[in-house]
A and B are shown apart, each in its own frame.
Chain A
Amino acid sequence: MSVRRLSLILLGPLLIVAILSLALGEASLFDIYARDPVLAGQLLVELRLPRLILGLFVGAALGLSGAALQGLLRNPLASPDILGTSAGAALGAVVTAYYLGFAGSIAMAGGGIVGALLALALLLLLAGRGASTTTLILAGVAISALCAALINIALAFAPSPFAFYDIMFWLLGSLADRSIDHVRVGLPPMLFGCLLLLFTRHSLDALTLGEDVAETLGVNVRRLRMQAIVGSAIAIGGGVAISGTIGFVGLVVPHLVRPVVGGRPGAALIPSALAGATLLVAADLLTRVPVDGRTLPIGVITALLGAPFFLWLILSKRGIVR
């Protein structure tokens, strides 16, 4: 299927979940509208719209980074969460907010981007180029574990005892109660990062034949690598600073999309962004359904959906299931 056709098809579900996301919430929009139309408008514009925008772009950033990193590393198990990029971003955000004295969401976004870059650089240093899947995953696991430990230490020693609440409030992934300020801070890096990633889409297809061939096909492999890594770091750094570490979207979405566009890694980018946005907004809708009076963080929901898929992927790579 062509990229354009698939993208048009994906816009349908995207539109549906977007409308549902605006319409459904803790408070009934219709009741409020009946009482006070102005208030309903405010609720829509100041709360639900920012939440929708962030959901769309965080999802798109995750899907796109996953697809681009998989294409770059020529590895189906690459994704920002598996490779430790998200954890690096979270650590960067926490350290900036609590220890460098730059409180506030803007500083967290900046710290997130730096953290994500460092994590990716460390990964490439540890695993090397053209590393095997195992090496890459192991390096990613190590980086994730290290960052998680450092985050816990950082939060435990933060001056405010409420810092520990950050784990539930943000780290496990949440789009709840985000405001237009968060959009202002998070949207520019996510947009810029996504744009950088989109520029890689023609080159990634050629990379499937190896770096040498790609180079002789006119691809500047070094620039491509920089674009994909810096683009992912900026998009993920900005996203994580706003919504925490949301796992599995970046891993799963490209897998669902790529076979539809004939296995081409570059062609999978745009549909991955659209499908990622849809998936995350849908997951965010699920977080609004309270279970026994409590709601689950969005990262828990994506993990519940994504982890079985990850297992299936490993088993199918081992040839146990087809």
Chain B
Amino acid sequence: MNTGLSASAITRAHLAGPIDCVLRPGELVGLIGPNGAGKTTLLRTLANLTTGSGRITLDGDDLARIPGDLRARRIAYMPTQRRVDWPMTVRDIVALGLPSHTRSDRARVDSTLARVDGAVFADRRIDTLSTGEQARVLLARTLVGAMDYLLLDEPTANLDPGHQIDIMDILREECSRGAGVMTSFHDLTLAERYCDRCILLNAGKVIAEGSPHDVMQDQHLAASFGIRRADRGWVRTN
């Protein structure tokens, strides 16, 4: 029974005070907040990459006690950092997202690449691609394992609007197959349109949590980003 990836009363460096949060199967949760608000720390914490007090459970089991290779089959994490150190081929990089004994599953790699519109450069070296293309390859690496929970740090950064929408559609597809997806954004419009739920962070604290509409109230946005809603998009409050 998948009850979700949930954190209770966690304290971490860069987070102010104990924080609770949960990612349930099938939902798309948007993490929003200004730079330095603690979005990355929260995502890394849910991926078991940080240490501190509090308890994180994966479908009821203590996350830290689950062996690394089993955890790796349930949770996929994609950092903002898009560096790939070696000029590997796109296909090899995507295959890294599969459990090691299935890394030769070429059909799965290719179909995942097709989903991110990357079939044409499957055989190319990653260092010959554009930034946007690289971002899509790394997303494909995150998707290929069909994990239960996806933790993505700004997957739409550096992408053109068309591909941003494509990626959000893909994440919705992931939710409809039952995966829980948590992703950070700087684009509030995308967050508003696609997310089931939003968590607004500021200075390491949760300012608001709930439906995108409830979270993106003017008082919340003013308190965190220092912006308000205007007729066409967003403007600075002062």
Q: Which A residues have a C-beta under 8 Å from some C-beta of B? A: 74-75, 202, 205-210, 212-213, 215-220, 258-259, 262-265
Contact = CB atoms under 8 A, between A and B. Distances in A.
B78 interface: yes
Contact of B93 (A207, A209, A212): A209
B231 interface: no
Contacts of A74: 85-86
A206 B86 CA distance: 11
Ranked nearest first, the 4 interchain pairs of A and B with the lowest CB-CB distance are A218-B72, A74-B85, A218-B69, A216-B77
B89 interface: yes
Given A205-B96, A206-B96, A220-B68, A212 B89 contact: no
Contacts of B236: none
Interface in B18-63: 44, 47-49
A188 B84 CA distance: 36
Contacts of A258: 86
B86 A217 contact: no
Contacts of A202: 100
B89 A263 contact: yes
A74 B83 CA distance: 11
Contact of A217 (B48, B85, B97): B97
Chain A contact residues: helix, strand, loop or mixed: loop
B56 to A, nearest CB: 14
Contacts of A220: 68
Contacts of B100: 202, 218
B68 A208 contact: no
Nearest to B138: A209
B89 A209 contact: no
A26 to B, nearest CB: 44
B88 interface: yes
Contacts of B72: 216-218
B77 to A, nearest CB: 4
Contacts of B71: 216, 218
B79 A212 contact: yes
B199 interface: no
A173 B222 CA distance: 69
B214 to A, nearest CB: 31
